[in-house]
Structure 1
Amino acid sequence: MAKVEMYATRVCPYCSMAEALLRFKGVAPDKTLVDGDTEERARMRERAGGRHTVPQIFINGRHIGGFDELKALDSAGGLDPLLEQASEG
């Protein structure tokens, strides 16, 4: 099973929708809350190539993007194969 990481905030409808989609796919993301945590938010921004909005989603270390990108990946049939890949770490 893939390792799925998601940076989120407590009150974020896109974070909730991303988590719901991932859970529907049978994956519980490793969620890091960045509300008021400037160090974690800075780490997220660095990993996400400067993006500062939430959610920011990573599958096996690969940056997917936010909810819109996750949904587009799923619609194109690319999400399931990524989630089926085993994590190397």
Structure 2
Amino acid sequence: MPKVEVYTKMFCPYCVRAKRLLDEKGVSYEEIDITMGGPRRGEMIERANGRTTVPQIFIGETHVGGSDDLVALERRGKLDPLLAD
């Protein structure tokens, strides 16, 4: 299974939604909390091609996007194959 990284902030309902979906699927992920900004926030913005909202989700080298993007992949049946690579 590829490495899954989720950039989050405290009190973010979209972050909770994305993590819940990953938890329900039994996916291990690294949560990177950027609530206080710092260099990890800059890293996220660079990796996400300028996107500043959270969550930003990466599966392996693939930038999935945010919570809505993750849910859309699941609904289209494309999340499991991405996780299996």
TM-score range, shorter chain: over 0.9
What's the offset of the Cα at 1:3? 1.0
For structure 1, the 5+ residue unaligned runs are: none
2:73 maps to what in 1?
73
1:15 maps to what in 2?
15
1:6 maps to what in 2?
6
- The one-letter code sitting in structure 2 at the alignment partner of 1:55 is P
Please say if 1:29 is aligned against 2:29.
yes
1:54 maps to what in 2?
54
What's the offset of the Cα at 1:39? 1.2
2:83 maps to what in 1?
83
TM-score of the superposed pair, with normalisation by structure 1 = 0.91
- CA RMSD in angstroms comes to 0.8
Secondary structure of residue in 2 paired with 1:83: helix
Q: Which runs of 4+ in 1 moved over 4 A?
A: none
Deviations 1:44-88 (A, max 9, x none): 000000000000000012100000000001100000111112xxx
- The one-letter code sitting in structure 1 at the alignment partner of 2:67 is F
TM-score of the superposed pair, with normalisation by structure 2 = 0.95
Please say if 1:63 is aligned against 2:63.
yes
